[in-house]
């Protein structure tokens, strides 16, 4: 039987001082010998996805205590990608994932915690915590803050649903009045929670559910809804059960690595492409698999994306469907249910809450006879429509669920948006190790595309260039030296993609970068080019006017320049003799913290993990 890790600091005469300190934190005689559960809270007032989490750590803590554990709350940082977007603040976003993973490891190992409840939400927090979880491999359950409600407003040209991307696009659209822009600003982010579309945060919280690490409803139940409180309370009980399974019964299927197996990653990826998740999920799944020591690669993602159809379109790929609509259609269990009906799910995978994923689907897929009232009662939870920063502050219900498999938010295989999934991997001379595009957000007429390169050496230059009218229709906007090493930090290009839309260029132009995208980006936006420009990838050799061919059906992207000419350019490059290439003359202050990150980070095809010697 594995010993409680905490025994190292709580047992034996020589631990008198450590026990003295534990006592000073509130522990008493009867507490020593109980599992010590770290409540990993990511509360911060900087981020709407986290502003409502302040008291929720203590809510979970009380439930842990009732269930027989000792709870100790700690905090992680959280970056708001939307606020950090479009300026150098975004350099810190992806690196914050490693800071979060490390901080969880540091706290859990320094104090010998036995288990974790991870209260996550926005883009890097869920993956950072999942990475730590796989590294530590101690009982863990995830409960995220929940999605924001979609905004609604009436503009001069009619009523529409809004989110932060609508606000970005509207603010740069010269045809929009100031009055309209003010309305967008005030309506786009109405409540606490992770931004309302199938953006990165929600994608990751849905994937946590499919991986088996979070409770049913975790990815889709709104932050504001009173029903979400039950997830937090249940997490407090379940973590003590997971401790019993591992520490008392030696049941390794209760551990993160017993849950997040290769098959579980396949399940998660199947969900990802079926729901058209954010391209960032590719980076994060690779990094989480790496920490779990599971050999799940871009090649597996490519294979799965060809086998699984696209069943669910949500903002930014659909103007009317938001996370609240995914929830009303039965959430993640419903999408997994549709995949399972066609034999595309590994039902045997373990979870933190059910015997296996198969049992989870049978009980929670609202289209199954085996699903009970519990499933109906969960998925009927509706948005409240009232501005708030308070968790669980409203209890509105839909009058009925969305069970439409033809035109509803979640479709069946027969009525899929496309036969292949909503994310795909492209290879070619511009991306020998691959790059990523969210086909969910690409119009079909652009699946076979040829354009002329317009090169920018930074995101900032690209944004200004697009706004100044330097980009013509049928251009491929190339933004380089924005990779994990080259940026450093692999910025999200939400402003450039949104500005192409503001300028009416999104249906004739493509964007190609070694940086990455927000989950809010749509259009023919191809990111994660590997190798990146800093690693002397071919993207560094592109010149204005070059032809670039992109084929979604062939999964290819190629620079149509002869090998001889490319060799000439490589030899003539001003930094030809250097090991790492840098953007020429780019004014960017890079802090020591970011330089330390850049020194170790691998390219996007490996999930932008840090490579240390033993790797």
Ligand X SMILES: CC(C)(O)[C@@H](O)C(=O)O
Give catalytic residue positions.
518
Q: Which two tokens stand for residue 139?
A: 């009982």
Q: Which is nearer to ligand X, 41 or 126 (CB)?
A: 126
What is the spatial distance between Cα 321 and Cα 315, in angstroms, rounded to a whole number? 6
Enter the DSSP assignment of 477: E
CB of 564 to ligand X, least distance (A): 40
Q: Which positions lie near ligand X, rule CB under 6 A?
A: 81-82, 123, 164, 195, 199-201, 278, 280, 492, 518-520
What is the spatial distance between Cα 516 and Cα 459, in angstroms, rounded to a whole number? 11
Q: Any binding-site annotation on 123?
A: yes
Q: Which is nearer to ligand X, 492 or 535 (CB)?
A: 492
What is the spatial distance between Cα 222 and Cα 202, in angstroms, rounded to a whole number? 11
Burial of 239 (0-12, 13-18, 19+ CB in 10 A): buried
Q: Cis (ω within 30 of 0) for the bond into 488?
A: yes
Q: Cis (ω within 30 of 0) for the bond into 316?
A: yes
CB of 547 to ligand X, least distance (A): 30
- x-or-dash string of contact with Mg ion, 231-270, rule CB under 5 A: ----------------------------------------
Q: Tell me which of ligand X, Mg ion, none is bound by residue 201, counting a contact when its beta carbon lies within the kind-specific cut-off of 5 to 8 angstroms.
A: ligand X
Q: Tell me which of Mg ion, ligand X, none is bound by residue 278, counting a contact when its beta carbon lies within the kind-specific cut-off of 5 to 8 angstroms.
A: ligand X
CB of 519 to ligand X, least distance (A): 3
CB of 434 to ligand X, least distance (A): 20
What is the spatial distance between Cα 283 and Cα 607, in angstroms, rounded to a whole number? 4
Q: Which is nearer to Mg ion, 76 or 261 (CB)?
A: 76
142 alpha carbon, distance to own chain's centre: 14
Among 81, 163, 209, 272, binds Mg ion (CB under 5 A): 81
CB of 51 to ligand X, least distance (A): 15
CB of 518 to ligand X, least distance (A): 4
CB of 214 to ligand X, least distance (A): 19
Q: Tell me which of Mg ion, ligand X, none is bound by residue 520, counting a contact when its beta carbon lies within the kind-specific cut-off of 5 to 8 angstroms.
A: ligand X
Q: Which is nearer to ligand X, 199 or 417 (CB)?
A: 199
Backbone angles phi, psi at 14, to 5 degrees: -75, -10
Q: Any binding-site annotation on 546?
A: no
CB of 200 to Mg ion, least distance (A): 4
* Using rule CB under 5 A, residue 200 touches Mg ion: yes
Q: Which stretch binds Mg ion (CB under 5 A): 196-204, 300-308, 348-356, 401-409?
A: 196-204
Q: Tell me which of ligand X, Mg ion, none is bound by residue 82, counting a contact when its beta carbon lies within the kind-specific cut-off of 5 to 8 angstroms.
A: ligand X
Enter the DSSP assignment of 356: S
Q: Tell me which of Mg ion, ligand X, none is bound by residue 402, counting a contact when its beta carbon lies within the kind-specific cut-off of 5 to 8 angstroms.
A: none
Are 49 and 10 in contact by the 8 Å Cβ rule? The answer is no
Q: Which is nearer to ligand X, 6 or 120 (CB)?
A: 120
DSSP β-bridge partners for residue 376: none
Q: Which two tokens stand for residue 444?
A: 């079909």
Kindly state the number of chain residues that form the binding site for Mg ion, as judged by CB under 5 A: 4
Q: Tell me which of Mg ion, ligand X, none is bound by residue 266, counting a contact when its beta carbon lies within the kind-specific cut-off of 5 to 8 angstroms.
A: none
Q: Are strands 70-75 and 556-559 parallel, antiparallel or unpaired?
A: unpaired
Q: Which is nearer to ligand X, 218 or 281 (CB)?
A: 281
Name the closest residue to Mg ion (Cβ). 81
CB of 514 to ligand X, least distance (A): 17
What is the spatial distance between Cα 89 and Cα 71, in angstroms, rounded to a whole number? 34
What is the spatial distance between Cα 401 and Cα 381, in angstroms, rounded to a whole number? 9
Q: Which is nearer to ligand X, 133 or 280 (CB)?
A: 280
Burial of 160 (0-12, 13-18, 19+ CB in 10 A): middle
**CA dihedral sign of residues 102, 74, 137, 343:** negative
What DSSP letter does each residue of 361-403 carry, written as one string? HHHH-TTSTT--HHHHHHHTB----S-B--TT-B--B-SS---
- For the segment 511-540, give every residue that binds Mg ion (CB under 5 A): 518
Are 530 and 431 in contact by the 8 Å Cβ rule? The answer is yes
- x-or-dash string of contact with Mg ion, 273-312, rule CB under 5 A: ----------------------------------------
What DSSP letter does each residue of 148-191 carry, written as one string? PPPEEEEETTEEEEE-HHHHHHHHT-TTS-HHHHHHHHHHSS-B
- Write down the H helix ranges in 503-611: 563-572, 592-600
Q: Which stretch binds Mg ion (CB under 5 A): 78-86, 303-311, 381-389, 559-567?
A: 78-86
Q: Tell me which of Mg ion, ligand X, none is bound by residue 195, counting a contact when its beta carbon lies within the kind-specific cut-off of 5 to 8 angstroms.
A: ligand X
Q: Tell me which of ligand X, Mg ion, none is bound by residue 514, counting a contact when its beta carbon lies within the kind-specific cut-off of 5 to 8 angstroms.
A: none
What is the spatial distance between Cα 320 and Cα 335, in angstroms, rounded to a whole number? 18
| Overall size of the chain counted in residues | 615
Instruction: Reduce the DSSP state of residue 472 to 3 states and report it.
Output: coil
Are 483 and 490 in contact by the 8 Å Cβ rule? The answer is yes
Q: Which is nearer to ligand X, 164 or 207 (CB)?
A: 164
Are 167 and 188 in contact by the 8 Å Cβ rule? The answer is yes
DSSP β-bridge partners for residue 511: 477, 525
- For the segment 119-158, give every residue that binds Mg ion (CB under 5 A): 123
Enter the DSSP assignment of 614: T
Of 201, 5, 2, 207, which is closest to residue 108 (Cα–Cα)? 5
What is the spatial distance between Cα 313 and Cα 322, in angstroms, rounded to a whole number? 9
Q: Any binding-site annotation on 492?
A: yes
Q: Which is nearer to ligand X, 266 or 492 (CB)?
A: 492
Residue in the structure block whose two tokens are 């996805």: 49
Q: Site residues (CB under 5 A) for Mg ion? A: 81, 123, 200, 518
Binding-site positions for Mg(2+) read: 81, 123-124, 492
Binding-site positions read: 81, 123-124, 492
């Amino acid at each position: 039987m594995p010993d409680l890790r905490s025994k190292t600091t709580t047992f034996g005469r020589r631990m008198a001082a450590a026990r003295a300190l534990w006592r000073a934190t509130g522990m008493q005689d009867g507490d020593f010998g109980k599992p010590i559960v770290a409540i990993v809270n990511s509360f911060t007032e900087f981020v709407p996805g986290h502003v409502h989490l302040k008291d929720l750590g203590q809510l979970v803590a009380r439930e842990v205590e009732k269930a027989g554990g000792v709870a100790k709350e700690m905090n992680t940082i959280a970056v708001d990608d939307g606020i950090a977007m479009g300026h150098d603040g975004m350099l810190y976003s992806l690196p914050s994932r490693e800071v979060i993973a490390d901080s969880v490891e540091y706290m859990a190992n320094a104090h010998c915690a036995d288990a974790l409840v991870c209260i996550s939400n926005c883009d890097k927090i869920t993956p950072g915590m999942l990475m730590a979880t796989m590294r530590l491999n101690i009982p863990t359950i995830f409960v995220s803050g929940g999605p924001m409600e979609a905004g609604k407003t009436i503009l001069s040209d009619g009523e529409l649903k809004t989110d932060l991307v609508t606000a970005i696009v509207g603010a740069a659209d010269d045809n929009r009045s100031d009055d309209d822009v003010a309305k967008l600003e005030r309506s786009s982010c109405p409540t606490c929670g992770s931004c309302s579309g199938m953006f990165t945060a929600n994608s990751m919280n849905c994937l946590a559910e499919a991986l088996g690490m979070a409770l049913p409803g975790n990815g889709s139940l709104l932050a504001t809804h009173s029903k979400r409180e039950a997830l937090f309370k249940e997490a407090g009980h379940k973590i003590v059960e997971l401790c019993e399974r591992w520490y008392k019964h030696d049941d390794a299927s209760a551990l993160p690595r017993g849950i997040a197996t290769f098959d579980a990653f396949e399940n998660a990826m199947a969900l990802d492409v079926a729901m058209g998740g954010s391209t960032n999920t590719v980076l994060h799944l690779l990094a989480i698999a790496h920490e779990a020591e599971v050999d799940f690669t871009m090649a597996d993602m490519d294979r799965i994306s060809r086998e699984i159809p696209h069943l669910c379109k949500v903002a930014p790929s659909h103007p009317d469907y938001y996370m609240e609509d995914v929830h009303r259609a039965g959430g993640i269990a419903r999408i997994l249910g549709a995949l399972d009906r066609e034999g595309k799910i590994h039902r045997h995978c373990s979870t933190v809450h059910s015997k296996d994923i198969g049992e989870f689907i049978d009980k929670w897929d609202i289209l199954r006879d085996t699903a009970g009232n519990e499933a109906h009662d969960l998925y009927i939870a509706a948005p409240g429509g009232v501005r708030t920063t308070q968790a669980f502050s409203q209890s509105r219900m839909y009058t009925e669920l969305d069970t439409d498999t033809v035109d509803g938010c979640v479709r069946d295989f027969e009525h899929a948006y496309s036969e292949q999934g909503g994310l795909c991997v492209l290879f070619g001379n511009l991306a020998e190790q691959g790059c990523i595009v969210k086909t969910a957000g690409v119009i079909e007429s652009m699946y076979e595309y040829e354009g002329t390169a317009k090169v920018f050496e930074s995101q900032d230059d690209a944004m200004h260039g697009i706004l100044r009218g330097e980009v013509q229709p049928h251009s491929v906007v190339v933004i380089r030296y924005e990779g994990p090493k080259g940026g450093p930090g692999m910025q999200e290009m939400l402003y450039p993609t949104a500005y192409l839309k503001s300028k009416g260029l999104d249906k004739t132009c493509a964007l190609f970068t070694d940086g990455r995208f927000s989950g809010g980006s749509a259009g023919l936006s191809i990111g994660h080019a590997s190798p990146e420009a800093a690693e002397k990838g071919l993207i560094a050799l592109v010149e204005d006017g070059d032809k670039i061919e992109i084929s979604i059906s062939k999964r290819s992207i190629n620079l149509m320049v002869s090998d001889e000419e490319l060799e000439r350019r490589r030899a003539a490059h001003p930094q030809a003799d250097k090991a790492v290439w840098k953007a020429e003359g780019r004014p960017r202050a890079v802090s020591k913290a970011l330089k330390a990150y850049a020194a170790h980070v691998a390219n996007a095809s490996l999930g932008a993990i840090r490579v240390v010697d033993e790797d």
